[in-house]
Amino acid sequence: MKTGTASLENFWEVNSSSSFDKLALDTFNLQYKKNTVYRSFCNLINRSPCDVKKVEDIPYLPISFFKSKQVISFQEKPKGYFSSSKTSGLVASKHFYRNLEDYTKSFSTGFGNIYGKFSDYVFLALLPSYMNRKGSSLIFMVDKLIQKSCHSESGFYLNNFKDLVQKIKFLEARGQKTILLGVSFALLDLLEYHSFHLKNTLIMETGGMKGKRKETTRKELHHILSQGFGCKKIHSEYGMTELLSQAYSKGDGKFKCQPWMRVSIRENQDPFQPLYNGQAGGMNIIDLANRDSCAFIATDDIGKVHSNQEFEVLGRFDHSEVRGCNLMVI
């Protein structure tokens, strides 16, 4: 294989719009053939490989199918699955996998693309809601980042704020670059215990109040976190159980995709109607790391895409308002 030529097995080598388009079309053809859930959905909306000549023709599977179906593009028995958290009695999504190599390669390469070497950072993880359940893809990722950092100070924290505060102060005094990665409500809980004025620590929120606090806008959340941690920028990680890749924001609310990801926007009331850059609507995501499940996902998030392919997340659909393909059942 030529250097820089992406293939289904080496999605992380996508390095141009043309290589992305080719791999996306190859992935669609493969998943239409091997993924019975996705093929049934495509047939239901009268879309076959004969109708798909360019990336814009590829249909997006409503994310809700991960709650009710085994969305896989391989024949053998899955080795396991990642599951989403359940709130208010909702059914959890399950993302089945046959191995963890694609996920590990995706988040490892993706983090490096944005932040550089793992070994440059100490990772402190404040993820109590995820630690209390099994099957979290976020916990798996952060655990690997902690291992790859090769710093003995890296680790997970639950509610032991006293130890965490002491650790942060110690690392700050040493001038050590640190990433404190936490779910939103836990970061706010930490600030109620202690405030900071950080110089060497990067704060990264993963979103979600998980029913622990009243939901707020990202802008409001970042203002509170910025004031409490004493830093100008709050970073964000965007990911979900149904995707094997992550996007990151370095503090302006705009997320940068990995080269093997692409976000587009659809009309809220007509899921097959695409919108232009700058218009708000439902987020469709292509994640070529999802080669063993489905790479083309119509999410329940609302956002908008900018001309440089960065995107913003503005909120989520009220499920009482979801229309079109999101209500289809196979």
Q: Where are the domains of the chain?
A: 11-76+260-327, 102-249
User: What pLDDT shows up at residue 323?
Assistant: 32
This prediction has a pTM of 0.92
Q: Quick one: DSSP state of residue 119?
A: G
Give domain 102-249's CATH number out of 1.10.3720, 3.30.70, 3.40.50, 3.40.140.
3.40.50
User: What pLDDT shows up at residue 9?
Assistant: 84
User: What pLDDT shows up at residue 157?
Assistant: 94
Contacts of 293 (CB under 8 A, 6+ apart): 35, 71, 72, 73, 95, 96, 97, 242
11-76+260-327 topology per CATH: Luciferase; domain 3 (2.30.38)
Cβ atoms of 260 and 295 within 8 Å: the answer is: no
Can you list the residues of the chain whose pLDDT is less than 70? 1-5, 86-89, 209-212, 319-330
Contacts of 52 (CB under 8 A, 6+ apart): 25, 28, 29, 58
3-state DSSP assignment of residue 157: strand
Read off the pLDDT of residues 31-59 as tens digits, 9 standing for 90 and up.
999 999 999 999 999 999 999 999 999 99
User: What pLDDT shows up at residue 207?
Assistant: 81
DSSP, residue by residue, 28-69: HHHHHHH-HHHHHHHHHTT--GGG--SGGG---EETTHHHHS
User: What pLDDT shows up at residue 324?
Assistant: 35
- For residue 206, which phi and psi values (nearest 5 degrees)? -100, 5
User: What pLDDT shows up at residue 322?
Assistant: 39
CA distances from 330 to 3, 72, 92, 284 (A): 41, 15, 18, 20
User: What pLDDT shows up at residue 1?
Assistant: 38
The single residue listed with the structure tokens 């439902």 is: 282
